[in-house]
Amino acid sequence: MSKPPVIISGIQPTGNLHLGNYLGAIKRWVRMQDEGDCFFFLADLHAVTVYNDPAELRANIRAMAAALIAAGVDPARATLFRQAQVPAHAELCWLLNGTARIGWLNRMTQFKEKSGKNREGASIGLYAYPVLQAADVLLYQATRVPVGEDQKQHLELARDIAAKFNTDYGVALFALPEPIIGGPAARVMSLRDGQAKMSKSDPSDQSRINLTDDADAVAAKIRKAKTDPEPLPDDPALLDGRPEARNLIGIYAALADETPAAVLAKFAGQGFGTFKPALAELTVETLRPIKDMLDRLAADPGELDRLLGLGAERAREVAAPTLAKAYEALGL
Ligand code: ATP
Ligand code: MG
């Protein structure tokens, strides 16, 4: 029997797990636990590329671990760990910094978005963020990386770095990772702006639905979500040019495990006054069991730390040989 594929993906433990993360990434993580050897990690080393209050970060790490487990990530079936507890990530990142090119990083749109007009004032870490991401993936010889659409470019960079390293040093060390994009909702957009993705770091909490939001908060956010005055069409193609409408239909479809066409078949001809309450109810009902479990887990930080510790132990073991070979290839 051939070895199962290695699957890896991470999430920053900053802010709350939101519907975009859940539908775009975590739902697939949960499914993939049966498809390969899964490594899921809290990207706490990525988190410190911007300032975070340390006490808040510490609390957020546990909150995110709780949210992932509540959403279905099972520490008995997948290796769930914190990047900062596996020093090989930072070490390999440094080794790869010698291979990554400034010209490649200059093309990364996420850095442009996140640094905005204040490029000179952005941290080196924010700029080198995709190199750490390459290390995260390459360390485990992962071939399958489930990510949202927004991370595709970083994955391509990881492939470029891996290929150049292998060529420059004449080794067949790094496997080339494939992004696994798609899933229920590859790109959930902000509730305030159909052109911007739903994001943990959006300053407006109204822009996203957090897994920790209670039913009233979810309903209020959906009620106030930006829309247009037109009724819903019967064909998804007619949502072109209506990004907010498309987004809400996409969210409904992903939550209901239906196609957008099937959702439109139900609501065609109706306005948002009818659709929004239906969407709110579906969202609340889908998130309810997750939120209940999340609240229970969050009350036991010791258990969360124990589970993360076990995951880190396994991750360190699996990462060690590849890191050792990278040092060796470089002549170190
Ligand atoms: P930040 O704003 O801090 O970057 P984020 O909301 O983008 O936060 P990440 O931790 O960067 O979240 O990403 C975690 C995972 O969720 C990644 O796989 C990413 O592709 C996915 N993801 C993030 N936002 C969305 C979204 N709006 N729709 C679908 N997937 C998303
Ligand atoms: Mg992001």
One-letter-per-residue 3-state SS of the chain: CCCCCEEEEEECCCCCCEHHHHHHHHHHHHHHCCCCEEEEEECHHHHCCCCCCHHHHHHHHHHHHHHHHHCCCCCCCCEEEEHHHCCHHHHHHHHHHCCCCHHHHHCCHHHHHHHCCCHHHCCHHHHHHHHHHHHHHHCCCCCEEECCHHHHHHHHHHHHHHHHHHHHCCCCCCCCCEEECCCCCCCCECCCCCCCECCCCCCCHHHCCECCCCHHHHHHHHHHCCCCCCCCCCCHHHHCCCHHHHHHHHHHHHHHCCCHHHHHHHHCCCCHHHHHHHHHHHHHHHHHHHHHHHHHHHCCHHHHHHHHHHHHHHHHHHHHHHHHHHHHHHCC
Task: Measure 19 CA to ligand 1 centroid, in angstroms.
Answer: 10
pLDDT for residue 184: 65
200 is catalytic: yes
pLDDT for residue 132: 98
What are the tens digits of pLDDT across the range 136-145?
A: 999 999 999 9
Average per-residue pLDDT for the chain: 95
Task: Measure 204 CA to ligand 2 centroid, in angstroms.
Answer: 15
- The domain segmentation of the chain, as residue ranges, is 6-187+301-330, 205-296
Given a contact cutoff of 8 angstroms between Cβ atoms, the answer to whether 94 and 139 are in contact is no
Task: Measure 168 CA to ligand 2 centroid, in angstroms.
Answer: 31
Superfamily of domain 205-296: Tyrosyl-Transfer RNA Synthetase (1.10.240.10)
Q: Indicate if the pLDDT at residue 183 is higher than 70.
A: no
Q: Among 11, 14, 21, which is best to mutate for testing ligand 1, by the most ligand atoms less than 8 A from CB?
A: 21
114 is catalytic: yes
Measured by CA distance, the residue closest to atom 30 of ligand 1 is: 24
Domains 6-187+301-330 and 205-296 share a fold: no
pLDDT for residue 231: 96
Of all residues in the chain, the percent with pLDDT exceeding 90 is 89
Ligand 1 within 6 A of 200 CB?
A: yes
Q: Among 23, 46, 150, which is best to mutate for testing ligand 1, by the most ligand atoms less than 8 A from CB?
A: 150
Return d(Cα 78, Cα 249) in angstroms, integer: 32
Tokens of 255: 């939550």
Q: Which atom of ligand 1 is nearest to the CA of 47?
A: 3
- Closest ligand to C-alpha of residue 43 is 1
pLDDT for residue 1: 58
Q: Indicate if the pLDDT at residue 176 is higher than 90.
A: yes
Return d(Cα 80, Cα 22) in angstroms, integer: 16
Band of pLDDT at residue 166, cut at 50, 70 and 90: very high
Task: Measure 231 CA to ligand 1 centroid, in angstroms.
Answer: 30
Q: Indicate if the pLDDT at residue 60 is higher than 80.
A: yes
197 is catalytic: yes
Residue type, 194: G
Q: Indicate if the pLDDT at residue 281 is higher than 80.
A: yes
Helices 272-298, 301-330: inter-axial angle, 10-degree rounding:
90
Q: Are strands 37-42 and 144-146 parallel, antiparallel or unpaired?
A: unpaired
Average pLDDT over residues 76-104: 98
Task: Measure 148 CA to ligand 1 centroid, in angstroms.
Answer: 7
Given a contact cutoff of 8 angstroms between Cβ atoms, the answer to whether 20 and 198 are in contact is yes
Ligand 1 within 6 A of 20 CB?
A: yes
| CATH number attached to the domain at 6-187+301-330 | 3.40.50.620
Ligand 1 within 6 A of 62 CB?
A: no
pLDDT for residue 15: 77
